[in-house]
Each structure stands twice: as structure tokens, then as C-alpha cells.
Amino acid sequence: MGILLIGMSHKTSPLAVRERFSLSCENRDHPLDRIRQMPSIREALYLATCNRVEVLVSAAEEAEQAVEEGLKALMAERGGISGQELERCLYTLSGAEAVRHLFRVASSLDSLVMGEPQILGQVKEAYREAVEHGVTGILLNRILHHAFQVAKRVRTETGIADNAVSVGYAAVELAKKIFGRLDGKVILLVGAGEMSELAARHLLKQGIKSIFVANRTHARALEMAEQFEGKAVVLEQVPEVLKSVDIVISSTGASNYVLTRDMVAAALRRRKNRFLFLIDIAVPRDIEPAAGDIDNVYLYNIDHLQELVDENRNHRLREAEKAEAIIEEEVGNHTAWLSTLDVVPTIVEFREKIEGIMKAELGKSASWRHSLSEIDQRHVESLMASIVNKILHEPTACLREQSRNRNGKAYAAALRKLFKLER
């Protein structure tokens, strides 16, 4: 039995191709309904996210080529693309390479944003669907649970998920450093740019109390205020509003400063020198740089945020090297387990035969055991079971060990001959 993985990701295919598979899932039967009907496939997993579409199957090794061709034909059909176009986007992995890839995906090492947590939940959801479709067995169950453990280990033992890698999260990270807690704080959005909106969304998730929106076009300010359940104000009100807010995110298209040093200084006096966090995402800048020189004012512009993002991204890349080492170790563990599967049927048959002998002998002794108390009879049965387990332990442990050393088949054949195992 072998493992085969076929798929495409953001690294190998454009969004226009990947979204065809997403649309096909919305309008048609689940791909697993088709995959499980394909000959030679024993188990299957179908993973589809914004950034990847992958099929993982276990199949008879001698049929691997046919299975690969069948899966490619199915993907071409579902995506509505030619086989030639599909080939340009696909990767095909087997055996340990497929396992390594799955471990890297679950650990978010292969994600568009390395360290993001969503992918693990998506892999778990794909596994849940596979279980519901009845297309999992000993191999995929083991691989998927192992992948979940590896992902947890990577997040626990490395800093792969530490620190923000987007401007929006970087703003949240800085705000937390300044204020400690963000619940109860008030935001002022100046301008209605996409990046400031994203930053505001991240901050609102931290328990921000309320939000003001000021924009040159008041209708747009009203629209965004409604979206955030906040209050719209006109630009001329900004100096007045400054006295009651804690965080300002500015991203207008103005050619001159919207917030001057004098405005900020005046506001700070009226707010009794409480901290004020200013985020200037605009280019050219909205906030006079000298405002950052005022005590208790923390001013960051887009370059500051980007520097933080770059620094954090480099940190994650360094942590990724540790994560890759963990994955290599775990792939080795999985390969060792996989190599013992060849001898499992022999071990099972060996145990069944010895246990059968024990039960037969117990049956023969039923006449004299009948005179024993019920407790003594259980003691005899327990003693027999303990002896059998001790007898079985050494040969089965030896068989597993030899299997990991690639000698399993020879030792299994010897055991079968010695004990006349017939299946």
C-alpha cells in the first residue's frame, strides 16, 4: 500500500485556476464521492482552501500510475481545464515526500503567510469530511493524527506563529505594547483607505470601545461609521475629537498634514497627557513628524510598520528552520512505523494462533476447573493470559524491530514456517 498526493497551491497555480475548483465544490457532489469509486484507492482526503487543492490517497503500489492518471482526469473535469493546463499547475508526491508535504502544510510552513493558524483547522475539517464519507483507514488515520501532532509540536517548540506579519496586526501589536489592554479604548479613523480599515478591524477585535470616522467625503464617513457601528464626524472636528480618543489611524490622500504638531499638543493638554497612539499610513504623510516628539505621543508611519512586519517575517523564517528539523524527525518516525505494517498480519495471526491454543487448553481443563471457585477460575485464566503475553512479546518485538531494519519479510516468513501459520 502506498501514499500518493496530487495537488496545486498558490505557489504553482494562479487564483483563476484554483477558484474553479472552489466553485465546482459549491455546485456539485463532493469530490470524495467520485474518488472512493475509483479502483485501487482504499482511502482518500480532499483538501480545498483559497490557496490549495490537494488529494491524498492510499492505494495499491502497483496501481499508483493508474491512480495518478485517474485523479488528474477527475481534477481536470472538475476544474473545467485541459490536461495540459492542469499539468502546469500540479505537483505529485508519493511515500515519504507526500507525508512530509502534509506535515508542512498542517504546520503552515507551506502557507502564503507562514505561521497562520487557519490551515490546521482546514486540514482537520477535510479529515472530518473524509471520515464521514467512510474513506479513511489505518494509513490515513495514522498520517492525519500524526500531522496534527506535528503541527502542535511546531507551534509549541518554535516561534513560527510569533509576531505580526501584516500591517494591520503590526498596529495591534504596537497598541498592546503602549496600552497593555485595548478594551475600552477609542479609535479615530481619518480617511477611509483600505489599509486603515483593515487595521481598525484588527483593533476592534481586541475589544475597542468605540470608533469615530472622519473623511473628506462625509457620505463615505457615514458609510464606514455604520459598518463599524461608530460615529461619523467631519474633518474640521478632528482637533476636537482628538481629546477623547486613544488611537488615531490616518490614511487620507491629502497633500498637506491633516494633523499638525500644534493640534496634537493642544489635544494632549486637554486629555491631561494620557497616551496617544498615532498611526500614519498615508503617503504622503498625514501627520506632522514633529508630533512624535511630544511626550506620551507614539507616532508610527507606514515605514515603521513595514519594518516591524519585515523583522517579524525574518524571525518566522529563522524559526521555520527549527520547524523543518522537527518535520524531518517526525517523517522519520512515520516511515519507521510504516515499515512495520508489512509484518502486522503475521503478528496478528501469530497471536491468534497462540491465544487459540490457550483457549483450547482451558476448554480441556473445564472439568477439573469446575470444582474451583469463580474467583480461582478467573485467576487461572488470568495466569494463562499473562504467560501467553510474555511468550508473544519477545518474538513480536523482534519482528517489528527487524521490519524497521528492512528484514521484516524474512523474519515473518521464518515465523510463519515455525508455527505453521497458514493465511
d(CA 346, CA 398): 13
- 194 marked ligand binding residue: yes
The dihedral over CA atoms of 227, 230, 233, 239, expressed in degrees to the nearest 10, equals: -130
- 89 marked ligand binding residue: no
- 51 marked ligand binding residue: yes
Strand partners, 278: 248, 299
The residues, ordered by sequence, that sit 6+ positions from 134 with a Cβ below 8 Å of its Cβ are 36
- 118 marked ligand binding residue: yes
Indicate which residue of 25, 50, 89, 398 is catalytic: 50
Q: Please, are residues 75 and 6 in contact by the beta-carbon 8 Å criterion?
A: yes
* 50 part of the active site: yes
- 111 marked ligand binding residue: yes
- 395 marked ligand binding residue: no
- 240 marked ligand binding residue: no
The residues, ordered by sequence, that sit 6+ positions from 54 with a Cβ below 8 Å of its Cβ are 5, 6, 7, 8, 9, 45, 46, 47, 48, 105
- 49 marked ligand binding residue: yes
- 50 marked ligand binding residue: yes
- 52 marked ligand binding residue: yes
- 195 marked ligand binding residue: yes
Which residue ranges make up the annotated binding site for NADP(+)?
Answer: 191-196
Residues labelled catalytic: 50
Binding-site annotation, residues: 49-52, 111, 116-118, 122, 191-196
Which residues contribute to the annotated binding site for substrate? 49-52, 111, 116-118, 122
